[in-house]
């Protein structure tokens, strides 16, 4: 039996903001009932652009209900930009902690809020498929991509298959993706561990950093964008901020910010320097 905090039990037994807002400013839905968890969020903004009302409907366990309930409380009164900063760890911390096996519920809450905000902004939220440059499906039972596994691993310091399953359910059903998930985790952590065991890497000079950024863009990023009719070019490097210009289809894609975050920034952080940020310039 899992040990739930008093706050989890309170929000499970007495959930806040249950329901659905009519004619919402934003709505988002994540999960799948056939997989055991689904969550729908709707919200309304006030005249100042802050979340005035937010409601949820969820199909899931007590942790899913509690996570959704406290998330609505956390989001109320926040601007869109402030709400986007709420992480799955923030949700878990607000509940006084959650069993490791139930952390996927907090991730579902974070993703539902992000999807609702994307809907408000008019950005398409599409399902990942085998050719999506934002991710390739690894766990077909739960529709989890390699990009999501890497993102969760880095943001939550996840290093084992069991932890990945706890945070997104990947690998929790048929088990055929276990070897591939472990390979992804090895790719995220082993190079860093081996490099640290040898010696601390020397800081790159500005010229070296620019050359390395260009190399990664040319070899790792641009070919993937060109496969979908887009492209990218390096504009400038200001401190740790890489300024880029998207071209072709990427320049007009409503989800280009996700491409910059999940592909460009992640790849540059992985292969050049962990502190790099990516900024689009027109």
250 by DSSP, 3-state: which?
A: helix
Q: For residues 83 and 113, is the Cβ–Cβ distance under 8 A?
A: yes
- Which among 61, 105, 141, 177 is annotated as catalytic? 105
Question: Given this model, what pLDDT does residue 33 score?
Answer: 66
35 is catalytic: yes
174 is catalytic: no
Assess whether pLDDT exceeds 50 at residue 127: no
H or E element at residue 26 = strand 26-32
Q: For residues 74 and 91, is the Cβ–Cβ distance under 8 A?
A: yes
Compute the distance between CA of residue 179 and CA of residue 203 in angstroms, rounded to an integer: 34
Q: Which residue segments constitute the domains of the chain, with CATH numbers given? A: 6-120 (3.90.1010.10), 137-198 (1.10.10.1100), 206-280 (3.30.300.130)
Q: What is the mean pLDDT of residues 189-200?
A: 63
Question: Given this model, what pLDDT does residue 130 score?
Answer: 36
Q: Tell me the average pLDDT of the chain.
A: 88
Assess whether pLDDT exceeds 90 at residue 51: yes
């Amino acid at each position: 039996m899992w040990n739930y905090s008093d706050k989890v039990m309170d929000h499970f037994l007495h959930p806040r903001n249950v329901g659905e807002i009519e004619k919402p400013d934003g709505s988002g839905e994540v999960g799948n009932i056939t997989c055991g968890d689904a969550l729908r969020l709707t919200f309304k903004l006030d005249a100042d652009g802050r979340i005035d009302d937010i409601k949820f409907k969820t199909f899931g366990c007590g942790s899913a209900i509690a996570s959704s309930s406290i998330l609505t409380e956390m989001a109320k009164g926040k601007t869109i930009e402030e709400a986007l900063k709420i992480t799955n760890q923030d949700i878990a911390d607000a509940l006084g902690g959650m069993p490791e096996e139930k952390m996927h519920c907090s991730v579902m809450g974070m993703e539902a809020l992000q999807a609702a905000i994307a809907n408000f902004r008019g950005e398409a939220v599409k399902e990942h498929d085998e050719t999506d440059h934002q991710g390739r499906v690894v766990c077909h039972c739960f529709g989890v991509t390699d990009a999501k596994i890497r993102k969760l691993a880095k943001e939550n310091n996840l290093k084992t298959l069991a932890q990945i399953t706890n945070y997104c359910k990947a690998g929790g059903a048929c088990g055929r993706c276990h070897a591939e998930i472990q390979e992804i985790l090895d790719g995220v952590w082993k190079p860093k561990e081996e490099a640290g065991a040898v010696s601390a890497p020397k800081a790159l000079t500005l010229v070296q950093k620019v050359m390395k950024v260009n190399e990664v863009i040319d070899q790792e990023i641009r070919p993937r964008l060109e496969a979908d009719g887009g492209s990218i070019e390096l504009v400038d490097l200001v401190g740790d901020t890489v300024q880029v210009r998207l071209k072709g289809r990427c320049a007009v894609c409503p989800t280009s910010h996700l491409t910059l975050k999940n592909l460009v920034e992640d790849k540059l952080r992985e292969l050049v320097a962990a502190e790099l940020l990516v900024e689009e310039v027109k």
